[in-house]
Amino acid sequence: MNSRKVVYLFFSTLLVGSLSGAIVGFIIDFDVYTGGDITNMVVGLIWLLGISAAFSLVSQMGFFAYLTLHRFGLGLFKSARLWNRIQVVLIAFVIFDLIYLRYIAFATEGETILHYTIMPVLLLAYGLVIAYLKAKDTNQGAFIPALFFIVVVTTIEWVPALTVNDPKWLWMYFAPLISANTWQLLTLHKLTNQPNTKARA
């Protein structure tokens, strides 16, 4: 992949993450940004775009870190099948953590573990859809790595908001991360022109 394509991936991901985060943030605090004059709205939108851009940069670092980890895993275990099985175990572990550990840490009176199950299950379902699209565009070997990236890497990037457990920041952080991660995952193979590379992330 030449430098022009790298630059395109960087700035397009930055744009996708910034816009998605700004839109979600604006909807969450709609009354705040529309309650004053036009200056208040403009400054608010600039702030939303800036902070969402920062989150999308976290996404990009996570993406290239996973590409390195993926290659390392393939080299270490000498088998894409074994490496995929390990990734499946890690996916299950992360989903369990998102449910149980957050329930233990943040559950209030009247809340059940079901309240903390919905979000991880939706993330897993979304990951399955994106992994299917990735495998369809490339090959079946890309399914598990794509699912791992969407579920596990996104969750790791999301940790700062998860530990705060503020609904506003959960969504403001999540929107640019998941949109940027999805964009990178579904765009990379188109830029490298290698749709049939085995077990490509």
DSSP letter string over 38-100?
A: HHHHHHHHHHHHHHHHHHHHHHHHHHHHHHHHHHHHHHHHS-HHHHHHHHHHHHHHHHHHHHH
Model confidence pLDDT, tens digit, residues 169-192: 899 999 999 999 999 999 998 988
- Tell me, rounded to whole angstroms, the distance of Cα 111 from its chain centroid: 27
- 107 in any annotated domain: yes
Identity (one letter) of the amino acid at 46?
I
Number of domains in the chain: 1
121 CA to centre of own chain: 14
Instruction: Tell me if 87 is assigned to some domain.
Output: yes
Question: 153 lies in which domain range?
Answer: 59-192
In a domain, 93, yes or no: yes
Q: Is residue 140, in this structure, part of any structural domain at all?
A: yes
pTM: 0.90
pLDDT digits (tens, 9 = 90+) for 133-145: 999 999 899 999 9
Structure tokens at 192: 């490298």
